[in-house]
Structure 1
């Protein structure tokens, strides 16, 4: 695998011009987010485009729209999508989520995001990486306002975050009437602390599905659950 690209079983992601490279967070979100048969999907913060393309593979009837504020990332994600088997169903727009939401009224069956979440952390000299990691450009309050605007009563919003930030976002979503419908607690191995949480939210109330997912076993091998989840995507499986 070259550092400039990441090969999946059905598509290839070039990510040399994006601040955030293909990583475990995006791959997990792409493999887990959503249920049923969504026809209209929005991704907030496209990056390299990997999440949208995994969703396109999983949901063959879906039309996918993505917004990406960084122009270089948007250009590369668009190229990645156009070179994939699902280019005709994917459209990425070079705009902020706030600007995108200010003049549109359509609703989405599924909204997904791997959002920037650092608030008061020391920043690097790389402005693009800062934008991808720090939520100055998309504070949680504005994320929630936009998500609420674009959801139907039975639509779903799925997001991946570290535990502390998920707690913060969940409180804001709950205040807007959105309920948790799914929880995935992600650990590096069973004995480690939770690294990430993937939550699904909706306006309707239902019993919460909760899973615990370890990426590796204690011996360092990929876990059966992780391998099963990503066997349709990653070449290593």
Structure 2
């Protein structure tokens, strides 16, 4: 049986989830601004539930909802929520995002998603893993248009995507009526290519900051900014 992933304030079981805990989700959950998310947060495609649990640790939001389409992952997220210290604030829906945003009248202060983003034309023999990894189960267009239905007036959407998709996603967002409020580009080390973009969107068209985060100076030699960002979660930080 796969070992649980232990953070400083909670533990995540992940043996039933196609996509295991990785750097992307923890980065996004650590990076996203939560000062304005006082009422409600929605984690889209929660998987193990790790980002929703991070939001429960970091914020005082009364309601932290999560959404998961895969049955096994949904059940695992529910279990992880129930064994955490914030079970009274966490709730998981078993549904697709497309169904959810068309049926729910509530709005959220913050939407957060580590979405599926493999767009290449190949699949594996593992249907659950394909759903978790491939963009056709949640196209960026659906995510961004759905966000405009679910966000409160001052609400914001935070996502992490491949850097190569950044220009396209920002253009789709603008067409949907969402504008960048912050962009952080992520490098594995000082000489590697930029691999990820963390994007924060809102309805206001504002001047925004673009910055960069380098994870390591060398193998397991983490940079000070990365340690500072994730130290409330990782045991070894």
Instruction: Write the distance in 2 (CA, Å) between the matches of 1:220 and 1:190.
Output: 13
Instruction: Write the distance in 2 (CA, Å) between the matches of 1:13 and 1:204.
Output: 36
Q: Residue 206 of structure 2 aligns with which residue?
A: 206
Residue 150 (structure 1) shift: 0.7
Give RMSD over aligned pairs. 1.4
Residue 44 (structure 1) shift: 0.8
Q: Residue 230 of structure 1 aligns with which residue?
A: 230
- Conservation of the 8 A alpha-carbon contact between 1:34 and 1:110: no
Instruction: Write the distance in 1 (CA, Å) between the matches of 2:120 and 2:177.
Output: 28
Residue 135 (structure 1) shift: 1.6
Residue 220 (structure 1) shift: 4.5
**Structure 1: runs of 5 or more not aligned:** none
Q: Match of 2:101, SS?
A: helix
- Conservation of the 8 A alpha-carbon contact between 1:21 and 1:48: yes
Render the CA deviation track for 1:192-214: whole Å, top value 9, x for unaligned: 11111101000113321222111
Residue 3 (structure 1) shift: 3.8
Q: Which moved more, 1:60-69 or 1:178-187?
A: 60-69
Instruction: Write the distance in 1 (CA, Å) between the matches of 2:74 and 2:34.
Output: 27
Q: Residue 103 of structure 1 aligns with which residue?
A: 103
- Conservation of the 8 A alpha-carbon contact between 2:42 and 2:112: yes
Residue 61 (structure 1) shift: 3.1
Instruction: Write the distance in 2 (CA, Å) between the matches of 1:16 and 1:124.
Output: 19
Kindly indicate whether residue 21 of structure 2 is the aligned counterpart of residue 25 of structure 1: no
Q: Residue 85 of structure 1 aligns with which residue?
A: 85
- Conservation of the 8 A alpha-carbon contact between 1:119 and 1:136: yes
Instruction: Write the distance in 2 (CA, Å) between the matches of 1:114 and 1:146.
Output: 15
Q: Match of 1:92, SS?
A: strand
How many residues were matched structurally? 236
Render the CA deviation track for 1:155-180: whole Å, top value 9, x for unaligned: 10000000122322211111112110
Instruction: Write the distance in 2 (CA, Å) between the matches of 1:236 and 1:164.
Output: 31
Change (3 A) 1:121 1:11: same
Instruction: Write the distance in 2 (CA, Å) between the matches of 1:6 and 1:220.
Output: 18
Instruction: Write the distance in 2 (CA, Å) between the matches of 1:138 and 1:219.
Output: 34
Q: Residue 162 of structure 2 aligns with which residue?
A: 162
Counting only pairs closer than 5 Å after superposition, residues 134-153 of structure 1 correspond to structure 2 as 134-153=134-153
Instruction: Write the distance in 2 (CA, Å) between the matches of 1:34 and 1:127.
Output: 34
Instruction: Write the distance in 2 (CA, Å) between the matches of 1:140 and 1:91.
Output: 24
- Conservation of the 8 A alpha-carbon contact between 2:41 and 2:61: no
**Structure 2: runs of 5 or more not aligned:** none
